Amino acid sequence: MRIMGLDYGSKTVGVAMSDELLITAQVLETITRKEENKLRRTLARIEELAKEYQVERIVLGYPKNMNNTLGERIEKTMEFKEALERRTGLPIVLCDERLTTVEAERSLMESNVRRENRKQYVDQIAAAFILQGYLDRIKKGD
């Protein structure tokens, strides 16, 4: 069994995948699209990856504000979640994604990745942080 993690943004979706033992999350790829509402190819790619890796669940970042209120991206995220459920037939778990992009940026800076190269990795690293947080919680039994 594997679990996929997604960091959904306006033009990109970062993708991460768990190992088969559900211990670690690894970065996989960043799916890009030209327009925010053009999701057909994005959904098709996620479906391909889910089949290839035999995914049984998807963890999707849930964009809350720092004060725990719902952010402006919530509506788009919920629409994406519904489309994912219809397309893949898999259960989708929402996970708080606060600070994951900040952590991803910091991780890239500490690894001395040049600023112009960070953009291509930040979303998939954020997806790995979202997924790893979820994996850690299910290990604890939360």
Domains of the chain: residue spans and CATH: 2-140 (3.30.420.140)
pLDDT digits (tens, 9 = 90+) for 110-140: 766 676 666 767 788 889 989 999 999 888 7
pLDDT tens, residue by residue, 8-20? 988 899 999 999 9
- pLDDT on residue 41: 94
For the entire predicted model, the pTM comes to: 0.85
pLDDT digits (tens, 9 = 90+) for 74-100: 889 999 999 999 999 999 999 887 666
Rounded to whole angstroms, what are the CA distances from 15 to 39, 46, 47, 66, 68?
Answer: 15, 8, 12, 23, 24
**DSSP 3-state of 21:** coil
